[in-house]
Amino acid sequence: MESMKPPKKNKKDGIHTIVKAALGLAPMGGPLSKLLNYFVLPSLDKRREKWFEDVATKLKEHEERIGKLEDLGKNEGFIDIYLRASRIAISTSEKEKLEALRNAVINVAINKSPKYLQQEIFLGFVNSFTVWHLKILALFQNQVKLNSLIKKGASPHVGELIKAEYPELEYQQEFYTFIWNDLNSKRLLSSGDPLGQTMSGMVVKATTQFGELFLEFIKEQK
């Protein structure tokens, strides 16, 4: 009788196990398992490969500022951030979030990032935030943009400025109010009257120092 040999594992097996566990399907087999094999895993592979390629390309672009790229393998802080950012990146298809994660990795590589504990918090923000969190926070950091909107007729109030910049949110008051309050609760936007007016009648940006650090962390390096 022929001896039975266990099937060799391939790189997809580990991902498959993780996906099934995350979906609560680990004890199940049959059609659902096959569905994951045929449709979900190829998509995960594509996301992973594209993420790795994008990061590698950007690291190469900034090699002069980073130094020897092989030395990054000895940098535990870089490896930590890279692995954490990679897990988040593979779980999203949002372009803005992927760019924020990639920029964070590059900034750590070239040593243009906040302290390690803040990095951990900021990656958590990217993971939990919607794309609109990132857009609205960036808007209220951009004093030039805010005053440009006012000059065009927008009222110097949070909701009006958001709608002026993003007309698609015109009838989404509860949504953008939630995001504003969430950013405020994370200490990324100032409390009270965040759009204080100067003597010229123009408004000043609403981001806190913590908010500035976060935006710098996910900013693309030119």
In a domain, 36, yes or no: no
Compute the mean pLDDT over every residue in the chain, rounded to the nearest whole number. Answer: 82
In a domain, 88, yes or no: yes
pLDDT for res 195: 58
With H, G, I as helix, E, B as strand and everything else as coil, classify residue 25.
coil
In this structure, the answer to whether residues 152 and 212 fall within a common structural domain is: yes
pLDDT in tens, 144-193: 999 999 999 988 888 999 999 999 999 999 999 999 999 999 999 986 55
In a domain, 29, yes or no: no
Tell me how many domains the chain contains. 2
pLDDT for res 20: 46
The percentage of residues in the chain with a pLDDT greater than 90, rounded to a whole number, is 49
In a domain, 193, yes or no: yes
In this structure, the answer to whether residues 100 and 65 fall within a common structural domain is: yes
Domain span at 93: 48-128
pLDDT of 7 > 60? The answer is no
Q: Output b/e per residue, 68-84; b: 16+ Cβ within 10 A.
A: eeeebeeeeebeebbeb
What is the rounded average pLDDT of the residues 30-51?
A: 76
Q: Sign of torsion, CA 15 116 131 82?
A: negative
* Chosen domain end from 86, 106, 128: 128
Nearest CA to 130 out of 178, 81, 184 is that of 178
pLDDT in tens, 44-72: 888 888 999 999 999 999 988 888 888 88
In a domain, 18, yes or no: no
